[in-house]
């Protein structure tokens, strides 16, 4: 599957396939953040929609007679269903893009995000995809559904409640649940750390007060018969970042994410990067406790690097789950080059643990560190000594097939007008790493200038 973005701000077009690590790079004002935010909003919407998967009367009767049902699916049939469903989703989402990006409708004329599906997307695999249905609070889970090796398996657990379960609603729930399994296979649950993340915790209370004040005004207007449209002062990712911080405030400090439980070294690596740990205080919000210090600091008192990595740290510790997509706009923000390299290694470890990563970046240090992880994995017997000397772990190493690299390139539109940009896929090689031309041109210019100054006549 790939995503097609058109006319998103300065971005003319993009065809994106998500890898274990997806990188978008390019110069300023080329549409990288627009593309990332628009794709994030589309993923959120995609996971909320569904259409009934066709289950015949005979199959539904079999489910309640025997307590189980196995349906072998045809990939082409699922593709056709997805194409029909998401053609409508794309049309709806085009009207929502101004709110997602906090832009005027006129500035997004002709803008769209869509998904292209292929038979290979639904090739039967040994990986199990599960769902469960609860009928009501007084019943335990009554239906388990999983898809594996090309077969949809439905198991009825509470046959004693047959009369309650045979209604039309149950049939609709089962059909929708089957479709959602396929949808969630392709559209991961996304968490985003926006480029504005550094200030969100500091101004969290002020933003919340402003929101509460607006809601009070809106309720009063509704009572008086006036209609009031919710303003889009902030893009969707910023609004979601604020909601995430409010959710984190309610989480117990000892509650760990599935990824943190299975891969505790990721938490250790992150703590080393920030030089301490984040502590959740239900009254005072999130605070930072430096290693070896008997004090905790508010975000306003903490360094810009600590604030910049707050959402990433809380996500890894409390929310990260296998199959998720972690989206980070400019992970290098406020970080020393050494920590930019360490963040690249952390992201590689997350990707290898099963969390997909999408980043936009201006950092040559991050890309070069990904190159190191690729080259070290090219011939491990040859590079093992280097890995031991430099402290690299085999769980950080990458394969070229895991990475998708896109670079914003200028594309002058027909008939003149301002320059627009296209996201073009750049090659990634196990032997040579990533090759983003935009960085190479700048580095070559600097090297040329240095040589002329230092050695020229």
**Is the distance from CB of 25 to CB of 145 less than 8 angstroms?**
no
How long a stretch of residues is the chain? 457
Q: Give the residue carrying structure tokens 């896929």.
A: 425
- Maximum Cα–Cα distance across the chain: 93
pLDDT for res 343: 98
The alpha-carbon radius of gyration of the chain (Å, integer) is 25
DSSP H stretches of helix in 282-413? 304-308, 310-318, 337-353, 364-376, 380-390
DSSP type of residue 420: E
Q: Edge-to-edge strand order for the sheet containing 151-156? A: 68-72, 151-156, 143-148, 129-133
pLDDT for res 256: 94
CA dihedral of 260, 261, 266, 267, whole degrees rounded to 10: 70
pLDDT for res 229: 45
Burial class (CB in 10 A: 0-12, 13-18, 19+), 177: buried
pLDDT for res 159: 58
Q: How many CA atoms lie within 13 A of 236 on its CB side?
A: 23
Give helix then strand counts, H and E, for the chain: 16, 18
* Average pLDDT per block of 10 residues along the chain, 457 residues long: 95 96 94 96 92 86 85 90 94 95 91 94 75 56 80 78 60 84 91 87 56 49 51 80 84 88 96 94 83 89 93 95 96 96 98 97 95 91 90 95 95 77 94 79 86 83
Domains of the chain with CATH codes: 2-47+190-227+234-449 (3.40.50), 57-186 (no CATH)
**Is the distance from CB of 52 to CB of 170 less than 8 angstroms?**
no
pLDDT for res 254: 81
pLDDT for res 228: 42
**3-class DSSP assignment, residue 378:** coil
Look at the alpha carbons of 176, 182, 187, 191 in this order and tell me if their dihedral is positive or negative: positive
Distance CA 301, CA 295 (A): 12
Distance CA 12, CA 412 (A): 10
pLDDT for res 440: 75
Element (DSSP H or E) covering residue 27: none
SS3 helix, strand, coil % of the chain, rounded to 5? 50, 20, 30
CB burial readout 62-95, b (16+ within 10 A) else e: bbeeeeebebebebeebbebbeebbeebbeebbe
């Amino acid at each position: 599957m790939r995503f097609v973005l058109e006319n998103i701000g300065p971005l003319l077009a993009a065809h994106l396939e998500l890898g274990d690590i997806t990188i978008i790079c390019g110069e300023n004002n080329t549409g990288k953040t627009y593309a990332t935010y628009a794709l994030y909003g589309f993923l959120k919407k995609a996971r909320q929609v569904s259409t009934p998967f066709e289950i015949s009367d005979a199959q539904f009767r079999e489910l309640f007679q025997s307590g189980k049902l196995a349906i072998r699916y045809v990939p082409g049939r699922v593709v056709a269903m997805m194409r029909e469903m998401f053609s409508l989703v794309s049309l709806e989402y085009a009207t929502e893009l101004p709110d997602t990006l906090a832009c005027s409708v006129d500035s997004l004329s002709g803008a769209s995000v869509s998904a292209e599906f292929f038979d290979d997307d639904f090739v039967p695999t040994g990986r199990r995809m599960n769902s469960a249905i609860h009928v009501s609070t007084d019943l335990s889970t009554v239906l388990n559904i999983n898809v594996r090796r090309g077969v949809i398996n439905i198991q009825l657990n509470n046959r004693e409640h047959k009369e309650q379960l045979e209604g039309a609603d149950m049939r609709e729930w089962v059909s929708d649940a089957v479709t959602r399994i396929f949808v969630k296979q392709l559209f991961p649950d996304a968490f985003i750390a926006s480029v504005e993340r550094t200030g969100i915790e500091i101004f969290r209370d002020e933003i919340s007060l402003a929101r509460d004040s607006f809601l009070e005004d809106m309720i009063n207007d509704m009572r008086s018969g006036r209609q009031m449209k919710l303003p889009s002062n902030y893009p969707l990712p910023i609004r979601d970042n604020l909601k995430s911080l409010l959710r984190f405030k309610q989480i117990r400090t000892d509650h760990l994410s599935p990824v943190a439980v299975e891969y505790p070294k990721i938490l250790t690596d992150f703590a080393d990067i920030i030089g301490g740990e984040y502590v959740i205080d239900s009254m005072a919000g999130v605070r930072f406790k430096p290693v070896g210090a008997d004090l905790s600091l508010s975000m306003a008192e903490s360094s810009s690097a600590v604030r910049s990595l707050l959402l990433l740290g809380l996500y890894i510790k409390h929310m990260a789950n296998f199959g998720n997509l972690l989206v980070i706009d400019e992970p290098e923000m406020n970080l020393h080059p050494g920590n930019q390299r360490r963040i690249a290694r952390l992201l590689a470890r997350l990707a290898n643990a099963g969390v997909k990563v999408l980043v936009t970046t201006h950092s040559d240090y991050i890309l070069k560190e990904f190159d190191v992880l690729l080259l070290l994995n090219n011939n491990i017997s040859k590079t093992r000594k280097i890995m031991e000397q430099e402290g690299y772990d085999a769980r950080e190493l990458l394969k070229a097939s895991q990475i998708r690299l896109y670079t914003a390139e200028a594309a002058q539109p027909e008939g003149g007008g301002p320059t627009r940009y296209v996201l073009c896929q750049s090659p990634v090689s196990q032997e040579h790493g990533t090759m983003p031309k935009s960085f190479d041109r700048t580095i070559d210019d600097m090297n040329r200038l240095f040589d002329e100054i230092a050695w020229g006549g």
